Amino acid sequence: MTNAYDDVLRLLGSGSKTLLITDFKESRKWALDYETVMAGQLPTGLPPALAASAVEVLRTGYLKYIDYSEFSPTEPCGVQYLLEPFFPRLSMVILGGGHIALPLHELGARVGFEVTVVDDRPSFANPSRFPRAKAVLCESFERCFDLLTVNESTYVILVTRGHRYDLDCLRQVLKYETGYLGMIGSRRRVAALREIVLAEGFDAEKIARLHAPIGLEIGAVTPEEIAVSIIAEVIQSKRMIRPQGKESRQLKIKWADWEADVLETLATGAGGPVALATVVSTIGSTPHEAGTKMIVYPDRRVIGTIGGGCLEAEIISKAMDIADRGGHKIVEADLSGEAEDEGMVCGGSMKILLEKLTNTAIKAEHLPLAAGVPVKAMPLPSGCSLLPRSASGGCDAKIGPGALSSLLDGLPPPQDARLLVGYAGSDDAAVYQIDDEQSFVMTVDFLPPMVDDARAFGRIAAANALSDIYAMGGRPLTALNILCFPQTMDMRVLREVLAGGAEKIREAGAVMAGGHSIYDQEAKYGLAVTGLVRNDSIMRNNTPRPGDRLILTKPLGVGIIMAAHRAGAADPDAMRQAAESMQRLNLYAAEKMRDFAVSACTDITGFGLLAHALEMAADKRSIVFYPRRLPYFAEAYAYAADGHITVASRRNRAHLEGKARVDTLPFPLQELIFDPQTSGGLLISVAARQADELLAAIRRDDPQAALVGEISWRKDDVIIMSDQ
């Protein structure tokens, strides 16, 4: 048996409208996807006549509470079914970041859409330009669909800057089923584009559904007026459905929304016995609409609300009675008296269904369907892709070094003398002195996914956070999880992420002590880690000795490989190698370097090799690299040559302008040294006389470690490329 509410969440996460059927006679629940319902398929044991009602509920978004006697007059009254619709969160993708997109994204967010804006021009694809957007992508219109989740709950609007870009967008979006597709342009231009995509073999029915010219005809002229006309048409498309069969007019539909905290509590097992209150119908003005739910615990705690005040207190008391004795019943609530007493606008009435739930009662019996109808398998966590939800992955999402520096400028300096290392030196972690012998070393790091596999993502994010402790010469003690998670994603994916993180925490010899989680538009995970370091062993990132040699413990190029993977160009073996590298702790190299004359250390992450080297050089030193000796993934070099690079590498390159001469290097090698690394290796400055011995020791666990450069006193350039 599986949990029906868990099934609802997973189906919503896949983009499917979902129907939850409750059979109160048998105390069973089923979650069915849109295709199953619209095909008229029901689990065995349910009356076939229920299929028409199921279709109506998913078409209109209005729940139904049905007596069994409607279908079988010989059966006694009182046997009922509850048919509840759940619709996915709506998203809006605006292709083009010009003048119309500005008011359009604002209005889209205001009417309930999660808005993503795409443009290939950095000056237009700017989050500060679109503050209400969930995401702003700077990517070509052809490749941006690799970063987007597009399904029947996605409303796509084409407002690009020209005919050629509209055609690029059309060719991509017509590959998907969307809730709405509209394109700006004159009738002549639109007709020409329609003919082109028809000639190229795209689905004629999809092309016919294209809203173009876009927007309702209201005589709009200004960008703001045009945006209003577009949003009006979007709302019309969302709220009205075309008549079918004998229907003579369009039907107005309700977008069946849901409260995430209530549904997710039910999905994970409410912890019973508890009672569930569901508003099944309303008349007049009421504080909440049909479908609203509230979980009631025996101690009168609740999750969710049906309106508050005396009404809710009365319902809680009745719900507690149901939780004690079981069963279900309908209660009526008249708000007119309370509304008048408390000066409320609402004054209608509600019917509220109360039912007892236990961890067993909310399990869904997946019975065989009617003869000849296969049971549709639910997707497993391993099949849930994390990447389409994330605009950027891993340390590619970090704020650039230049922007970060300007953000920190002007903050008041810390006054506590026991803070031995703070943010002023751009070091890897903070160090706070406990006594004369040891100090706490503290860091926090979290990031969006860079791989599809949830457990691997958890391992990588944890290894990335723990690395800062190792770079400072410390040993981790405790770790706190930091988690952001979409409301519609499968909760078992969440458990896989946390399990992966827990594996690396245990491997590091630390204790997972708790954490904090919030809802967000995309998954993010990481750790806040506290460790210990001896005061005479604190490792800084900006104290290398001139004459020291530099050792890099992991190969470069994971950011490039991830970029190629998002574009569908990465070889599976290259992905496997990159993922294995990112999951490997820097613990083993850090343990080795404690026995050697190491003067400085840092871990290579989102700023790339050269920007971290720039921090190491500080004010008085230069870093001399041996480009021919740099370790990197061969596939990453090839992918960079093909143009698979990251936005973060461009930021890193701009930050190093005038500080490093790299123009003599092949372009792919340039990209490798600017490439943002997630859970990258340690860059260790060690006495020249011990470099070979330390390298040999590190290679026993990290075989691709290499001697990559040396430290010198400051020369004309901070970063220098040598022919060695």
Catalytic residues: 395
**C-alpha to C-alpha distance for 8 and 85, rounded to whole angstroms:** 10
Q: What gap in Å lies between CA 241 and CA 452, rounded to an integer?
A: 36
Vertex 309 angle, CA 304 and 315, to 5°: 65
Residues 6+ apart with CB under 8 A from 667: 640, 641
Burial tier of 110 (Cβ tally within 10 Å: 0-12, 13-18, 19+): exposed
Cα→Cα distances 348→281, 293, 324, 483, Å:
11, 18, 30, 41
Helix (H, G, I), strand (E, B) or coil at 569: coil
Taking a C-beta distance cutoff of 8 angstroms, is the pair 306, 350 a contact? yes
Question: DSSP character for 40?
Answer: T
Could you give the dihedral angle defined by the CA atoms of residues 182, 186, 190 and 191, in that order, rounded to the nearest 10 degrees? 140
Give residue 38's Cα distance to chain centre: 30
- Distance between start and end Cα atoms, the chain: 65
Cis before 368 (ω within 30): no
Closest CA to 173 of 108, 246, 116, 245: 116
Give bridge partners of residue 589 from the DSSP assignment: none
Residues forming beta bridges with residue 257, ordered by sequence position: none
Distance from chain centroid for Cα 242: 34
Tokens, residue 261: 């905290």
- Residue 370: strand, helix, or coil: coil
Using alpha carbons, select from 232, 193, 184, 240 the residue that is nearest to residue 212: 184
